[in-house]
Structures are given as C-alpha cells and as structure tokens.
Amino acid sequence: MGRQHTTPGQPCRLIKIGVTGGVGSGKSLVCRRLQASGVPVVSADQLARQAVEPHSRAHKQIVKRFGKDILTADGTIDRPRLRQIITQDEAARRDLESYVHPEVGVQMQNHFRSAAAQGAWLAAVEVPLLFEAGLQDQFDAVILVSGDTEVRIHRIMQRDNVSRQQARALMHIQMEEAQKRRMSDFIIENNGSIDQMHAQVDRVLEKLAEKYKKIGENG
C-alpha cells in the first residue's frame, strides 16, 4: 500500500491507524471497542463538523458555493440538506470535499500529536471516505469494517429513518467494497453479534501489538 512501517531496531513510535468502511458497516462500534481498549480515537466526521463551524474558512467556502439556503437558523451548516445535495450531484460532492478534507487533515495530525504526547503507542481515526479521499498513505495500517449489503441497508434505514432508495443512494457514492478490501490491512466482518465484532477487534489489536509495539520495545 506504500505506507512506511517500523523496522526491527527502531524505537517505538506512534502507530497511526485508519478505520474505514461503507455507510452502515458499523465503524463507530469498532472505534468504541478500540477506545475501551485504551486507543485514542477521533472521528473524521467530528473533525469535519469542527472544520465547518461558523466563521471558519470551510464554512465560508460552502456558503459561497451552495448559497445561504444551506444554513440553519443559527448559521450552522444544514448537514442533512447538504448530504442530500451531494448524493445527487457529483460535482457538488467533489467541491465539498475540496473545502473540508484539507481542514480535517490538519486536525487529524493534531490528534496524532496529542496522542503521542500522552505516551500512546497507537492512535486511530475513523474516516468513512478514507480511500475515496486518497488518505491511505497517511496511516501505518487501515482497518476496514465490512458488512453484507442487506445488513448495511437495514442499519442505514433504522439509523437515519430513510427509505431503502435513500440508503442505496448513500452507498452508491462510496467506493466499491471489493476494491476497499484489496487496499486494507485488516478486515472486520461485522454481520454478527457485538461480541463477535469485539473478538475481531481484539485480534487486530493483538496483531498490531505483535508487529509494532514489541519491535519498539526490543529496539
């Protein structure tokens, strides 16, 4: 995948993990398990919300591109309305990403610096459109959370109170699952119970510790 990895003899450094997956795959649940295991985790969606707060550069760019109708009464971005627009307009989606992604990238690096300063050996970022945004080279390893299509559609409909057609539209704007699987280092199949998912996350952490942390301790 072109990412740089720790080699024997080097001291341990912060290992940067990207957690991604299609909409409805269960990325947030996986990240909660990582957090419960002591891994500092931040969501790119959370960073994106911060990036488009009123008076920010991205906020101004979005209003200029989409007009003031994209704002709520308090001046914040109407995210559901904006999401509806970008699922129907490819050019609009690309423009939005060009405004938001650079700002998210800066905040992501701040997260990693903070984790390293606190003595963490591993930190993660949940990035829904990691591959779509070409961010894979910013991580030492990528965890893909995967789920069967019908399972994901049901989750989206339940979570967002949307129709089956709207759920499919959200899935359509993302990269094909098969391509993501080829580009990922670890794959968590999230079609079963919470306990089954937790067990898979724990195994991934064990493999990461074996590959990176022990190398650093022996270096």
- In this predicted structure, the answer to whether residue 1 has a pLDDT above a threshold of 80 is no
- In this predicted structure, the answer to whether residue 200 has a pLDDT above a threshold of 90 is yes
- Which percentage of the chain shows pLDDT scores above 70? 91
Instruction: Kindly state whether residue 4 falls inside one of the protein's structural domains.
Output: no
CA–CA distance from 128 to each of 55, 95, 96 (Å)?
25, 17, 15
Top pLDDT among 129 and 142 is at 142
- In this predicted structure, the answer to whether residue 217 has a pLDDT above a threshold of 60 is no
Average pLDDT over residues 9-29: 80
Instruction: Kindly state whether residue 7 falls inside one of the protein's structural domains.
Output: no
Top pLDDT among 67 and 215 is at 67
Instruction: Kindly state whether residue 3 falls inside one of the protein's structural domains.
Output: no
Instruction: Kindly state whether residue 1 falls inside one of the protein's structural domains.
Output: no
Instruction: Kindly state whether residue 6 falls inside one of the protein's structural domains.
Output: no
Which tens digit of pLDDT belongs to each residue from 39-95?
999 999 899 899 999 999 999 999 999 999 999 999 999 998 998 899 889 999 999
Number of domains in the chain: 1
CA 89/CA 76 separation, integer angstroms: 21
Q: Which amino acid is at 140?
A: D
Instruction: Kindly state whether residue 58 falls inside one of the protein's structural domains.
Output: yes
Top pLDDT among 35 and 24 is at 35
Instruction: Mark the binding-site residues for ATP, compressed into ranges.
Output: 24-29
Q: Which amino acid is at 141?
A: A
CA–CA distance from 40 to each of 31, 117, 217 (Å)?
9, 12, 20
Instruction: Mark the binding-site residues, compressed into ranges.
Output: 24-29
Q: Give me 152's structure tokens.
A: 């994901």
Average pLDDT over residues 111-124: 95
Instruction: Kindly state whether residue 2 falls inside one of the protein's structural domains.
Output: no
What is the extent of the structural domain holding 141? 15-217
- In this predicted structure, the answer to whether residue 3 has a pLDDT above a threshold of 50 is no
- In this predicted structure, the answer to whether residue 109 has a pLDDT above a threshold of 80 is yes
- In this predicted structure, the answer to whether residue 11 has a pLDDT above a threshold of 60 is no
CATH of the domain at 74: 3.40.50.300
Residue 10, pLDDT score: 38
Which tens digit of pLDDT belongs to each residue from 147-181?
887 887 888 888 878 888 887 877 777 778 889 99
Instruction: Kindly state whether residue 153 falls inside one of the protein's structural domains.
Output: yes
